[in-house]
């Protein structure tokens, strides 16, 4: 039976050499351009705007992280369906180890089942990642170009999910407002909108983040599976089947007849997860930002941007995305995500 992550432990005080390296890192970060909005404070690093508090861990991952050949990474631009994809991937991959009627997702938040690599390094808990048995399922938000060569050149695989930028922005704004320090003034939506358009939000610009994984999925479909939030909502059973094929554990004929795919979809549905006690209580995060589990379950649908943006704002954001993605074969627009789908490419083994 696969081991689940243990509860977080406090990191040990840094050694003198580590303290010096931390200071050198802080000094370097202080020289980088600043961006963001409200509670989102970012620095421009290697072409992307990274959360200031997360940048040291990103740099450490680039320098020290050693992936395993069978690692599976769940990837997304923040607030693009991360929680849902973690749940679906974990349930699909571990279905032979845990009966769905007594699955860990019924008592644990998806973020407890699939650890975030940047967060563990940020909390000084890289040892938790190393302690996980293979094959590991880990989550990241890092752009593809910021990943170390050890990840991009190995046989580890990536499942990427993207979402309409307008809904992504609205979800991010709500999430950050709910988790902002009480001492900080609320951020007007228009301020978040302007920063998002400028690309200075966390791990932005979003279109660059999406485009890097999209291009890699076209170049190496056996390494990157590119999924679309809206399509998963419309056809969850088919997408779960495709996911299972990609990660090397397709559903058997007996599982198909037994309705296992549908059971996984039901277990990981927004309404099911939202109403579980584990997702109504408890917290996630670490130094600098602690969030409650219920913060990850607001609406879970598509099109909520219409309640926050004027038609002119929506057209502006769509126009930026269309310009940035020109000739890529991928479009981000008012009807969600429209592009030639990787799902037409036959799945390959590990």
On the 0-12 / 13-18 / 19+ scale of CB atoms within 10 A, 44 is middle
Cα Rg of the chain (Å, integer)? 20
How many other C-beta atoms are found inside a 10 Å radius of the C-beta of residue 198?
14
Q: What is the pTM of this model?
A: 0.84
User: Over 60: is that where the pLDDT of 14 sits?
Assistant: no
pLDDT at res. 203:
93
141 is a catalytic site residue:
yes
SS3 at position 55: helix
pLDDT at res. 177:
76
The answer to whether residues 113 and 105 touch, using CB atoms and an 8 Å cutoff, is: yes
Average pLDDT on 285-305 reads 59
Residues contacting residue 331 through CB under 8 Å, at least 6 positions apart: 321, 322, 325, 337, 338, 339
* Residues found in the chain: 350
- The pair of structure tokens assigned to 168 is 């992504």
User: What is the residue extent of each domain of the chain?
Assistant: 47-342
Q: Which of 103, 141, 174, 308 is catalytic?
A: 141
Q: What is the DSSP letter of 159?
A: E
Binned at pLDDT 50, 70 and 90, residue 38 comes out as confident
On the 0-12 / 13-18 / 19+ scale of CB atoms within 10 A, 4 is middle
Strands of the chain, DSSP E: 34-37, 40-45, 48-51, 72-76, 115-116, 137-140, 157-162, 224-228, 283-286, 289-292, 330-333, 336-339
The second-level CATH assignment, the architecture, of 47-342 is 3-Layer(aba) Sandwich (3.40)
Rounded CA gap, 13 and 86, in Å? 32
pLDDT at res. 256:
96
Average pLDDT on 58-70 reads 95
On the 0-12 / 13-18 / 19+ scale of CB atoms within 10 A, 21 is middle
- Does 172 sit behind a cis peptide bond, omega within 30 degrees of 0 on the bond before it? no
The average confidence (pLDDT) of the chain is 84
Task: Give residue-wise pLDDT tens across range 224-279.
Answer: 999 999 999 899 999 999 999 999 999 999 999 999 999 999 998 878 877 776 66
How many other C-beta atoms are found inside a 10 Å radius of the C-beta of residue 282?
14
Rounded CA gap, 302 and 134, in Å? 35
């Amino acid at each position: 039976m696969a081991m689940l992550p243990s509860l977080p432990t406090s990191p040990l005080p840094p050694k003198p050499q580590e303290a010096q390296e931390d200071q050198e890192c802080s000094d370097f970060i202080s020289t980088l351009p600043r961006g963001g909005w409200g509670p989102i404070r970012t620095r421009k690093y290697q072409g992307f705007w990274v959360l200031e508090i997360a940048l040291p861990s990103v740099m450490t991952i680039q320098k020290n992280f050693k992936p395993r050949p069978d690692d599976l990474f769940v990837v997304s631009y923040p607030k693009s369906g991360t929680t849902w994809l973690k749940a679906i991937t974990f349930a699909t991959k571990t279905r032979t180890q845990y009966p769905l009627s007594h699955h860990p997702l019924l008592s644990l938040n998806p973020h407890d089942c699939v650890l975030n690599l940047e967060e563990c390094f940020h909390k000084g808990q890289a040892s938790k990642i190393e302690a996980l048995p293979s094959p590991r399922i880990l989550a990241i938000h890092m752009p593809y170009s910021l990943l170390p060569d050890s990840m991009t050149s190995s046989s580890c695989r990536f499942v990427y999910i993207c979402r309409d930028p307008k809904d992504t922005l609205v979800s991010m704004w709500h999430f950050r407002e709910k988790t902002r320090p009480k001492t900080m003034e609320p951020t007007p939506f228009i301020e978040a909108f302007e920063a998002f358009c400028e690309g200075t939000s966390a791990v932005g610009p979003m279109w660059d983040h999406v485009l890097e994984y999209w291009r890699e999925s076209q170049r190496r479909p056996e390494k990157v599976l590119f999924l679309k939030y809206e399509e998963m909502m419309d056809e969850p059973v088919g997408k779960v089947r495709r996911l299972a094929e990609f990660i090397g554990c397709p559903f058997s004929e007996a599982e198909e007849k037994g309705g296992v795919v549908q059971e996984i979809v039901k277990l990981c549905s927004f309404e099911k997860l939202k109403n579980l006690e584990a997702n109504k209580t408890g917290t996630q995060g670490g130094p600098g930002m602690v969030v409650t589990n219920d913060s990850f379950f607001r609406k879970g649908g598509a099109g909520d941007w219409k309640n926050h943006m004027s038609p002119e704002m929506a057209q502006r954001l769509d126009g930026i995305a269309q310009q940035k993605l020109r000739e890529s074969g991928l479009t981000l627009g008012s009807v969600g995500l429209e592009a030639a789908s990787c799902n037409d490419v036959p799945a390959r083994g590990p």
